[in-house]
Structure 1
Amino acid sequence: MSDHESYELLGFDNVLLPVGNLGEAVDFYARAGFTVAYRLDEAGIALLKVGGETPGLLLRAEEEFGRQPPMWPSARVWLETTDARRATAALREAGVPTLDEPFPVATGWTVEFADPWGNVIGLTDYSKRPELGRRP
């Protein structure tokens, strides 16, 4: 039996994002429309909700992690949204600058933003392929 047959990947648990200051990160992501599921300051973590799913974005304070621009190439986390172009307007209105204008992808539209520590989040919709989205 090969190694990949000895276990099965079932789905995402959490996506960990290193941040330099937990309070500042929670405030930033609140402006970007995220809700805190729980926050444990003594452990230096906060879990942000993503839809109705249990896994989320786990912010983890790394004190030595300073502010930096998004690095390219860098890992990106894309989350499904109902409308990426409307999300762009809402982000900008809340003072969260986007990295670019919404751009077309195979399923619809995507917009990306970065937190102050260089973590890049994309919001993508399924307007071109609604049958593939969570709400067809």
Structure 2
Amino acid sequence: MSYELLGIDNVLLPVGNLDEAVRFYELAGFPVAFRLDEAGIAALKVGGETPGVLLRLDEELSHRPPPWAVPRVWLEVRDARAAASALAAAGIRPLDAPFPVATGWTVEIADPWGNVVGLTDYNKRPELARAART
């Protein structure tokens, strides 16, 4: 290969309504880094890292999951089971109960356009967690 992958720039999620998408993700605990309505985008912060989740307006999307399979984006949290409780308290129903994974636990949510975001922890493998790497 003649190039090197350096890291994630942003993860783009297509949404059908930028205002509604921002409200959904703010309710789910994602702070807005910036919004450019004229460009149809809003960036959500993910921890202290520069890369984030970028919501991109696609006016052809409806409020139903798309007919194609959607990728899943998983983001690290300290405790996925606590995140699931906080989401439920905010009125956001997870796709399923938190489930065990090799590193700990994960809970997934879907926005109104079918984008799936997982919140996963490293409670079974704390040596791999971001806190252990800093």
Q: TM-score w.r.t. structure 1 length?
A: 0.94
Structure 1: give runs of 5+ residues left out of the alignment. none
Q: Secondary structure at the match of 1:135?
A: helix
User: In the alignment, which residue of structure 2 is the partner of 1:93?
Assistant: 89
| CA deviation profile, 1:96-120 (whole Å, cap 9, x unmatched) | 1100000000000000000000000
Kindly indicate whether residue 32 of structure 2 is the aligned counterpart of residue 36 of structure 1. Answer: yes
Q: Offset of 1:74 from its aligned partner? A: 2.5
1:1-22: CA deviation from partner (whole Å, max 9, x where unpaired):
xxx2x10000000000000000
Question: Partners in 1 of 2:44 and 2:54 — Cα distance?
Answer: 6
TM-score (norm 2): 0.95
Counterparts of 1:30-109 in structure 2, within 5 Å, are 30-69=26-65, 73-109=69-105
Between the two proteins, what is the percent identity of the paired residues? 72
- Tell me whether 1:120 sits opposite 2:109 in the alignment: no
**Structure 1 residue 95 displacement after superposition:** 1.0
Amino acid at match of 1:50: V
Alignment-mate amino acid for residue 57 of structure 1: V
In the alignment of these two chains, the number of paired residues is 132
CA RMSD of aligned residues (A): 1.2
Give the Cα separation in 2 of the matches to 1:14 and 1:65: 21
Q: 4+ residue runs of structure 1 moved beyond 6 angstroms?
A: none
Structure 2 unaligned segments of length 5 or more: list them.
none
Task: Tell me how far 1:68 sits from its aligned partner.
Answer: 1.4
